[in-house]
Amino acid sequence: MFRNKYLLVLIILILVITHILWDYFNGGVPVHYVLANNELPGISNWWGLLTVPILSWVLLSLIYNKIESESTSKSHLNKVIFSFIMSLLFGVLLSAFWEFKMDFVTQYLILLPIILSVFVKVHKPECLLGFVLGMVYTFGGVLPVGFGLVILTMSFITNLILNQGTLYLISKFK
């Protein structure tokens, strides 16, 4: 499934191009301003033509390398696919709450990966790819990449400090 990275990245690129063209012919490609202030510099969704395919290529390469190096078992591939699908659904759910102006739910739901990282590793390439692809339709190709990288970093730090740090301290006291 992940062996043909070129085809997967091409499909993602076609979807991003389609989305950009739809925006272009229906009112213009959106620009997101820093701190939502029109006087500050803006970031156009045109950048999504670069960010999403490049991120997809890098993450698919990491996923492919991980699958090849760790295990060839079907159960490991199923875990990767499960993580991807759950992250994709999380991104879609977060986008839907944003579209329906349910900001109260959105502001707490965004913290879910950080809370989950106490118990499981969510700082995986397949999780980032699913999250970004789930949010591209609503937020374009730049904001999901930025938010995804921030959440991924915070999840990594949380997992490292709370989970791995606790296990290290327990092993030292035994």
21-74 tens-digit pLDDT? 999 999 888 888 877 788 888 888 899 999 999 999 999 998 888 877 765 667
27: three-class secondary structure by DSSP: coil
Backbone φ, ψ for residue 41 (5° rounding)? -60, 150
Distance in angstroms (rounded) separating the CA atoms of residues 26 and 8: 27
> For position 172, what pLDDT does the model report?
83
pLDDT tens figures, 76-101: 788 889 999 999 999 999 999 988 98
Backbone φ, ψ for residue 32 (5° rounding)? -105, 125
Tell me which residue has tokens 């272009």. 24
State the amino acid at position 169 in one-letter form: L
Percentage of the chain exceeding pLDDT 70 = 95
123 in Cβ contact with 155 (< 8 Å): yes
More confident position, 70 or 156: 156
The token pair that represents 44 in the structure block: 């156009």
The token pair that represents 81 in the structure block: 């696919």
pLDDT tens figures, 95-126: 999 889 888 888 889 999 999 988 888 999 99
Name the nearest CA neighbour of 66 among 137, 146, 155, 128.
Answer: 128
> For position 93, what pLDDT does the model report?
95
The DSSP secondary-structure symbol of 82 reads H
Mean pLDDT of 4-9: 88
102: three-class secondary structure by DSSP: coil
> For position 84, what pLDDT does the model report?
94
Distance in angstroms (rounded) separating the CA atoms of residues 33 and 31: 6
Tell me the CA distances in angstroms from 166 to 29, 117, 121, 147, 163, one per residue in order.
Answer: 47, 13, 15, 27, 5
Domain, as residue range, for 146: 5-173
Distance in angstroms (rounded) separating the CA atoms of residues 35 and 159: 29
Tell me which residue has tokens 């006087």. 39
Tell me how many domains the chain contains: 1
Mean pLDDT of 132-159: 91
Distance in angstroms (rounded) separating the CA atoms of residues 113 and 61: 23
Task: Find which of 10-24, 25-39, 151-165 is predicted with most confidence, using mean pLDDT.
Answer: 10-24
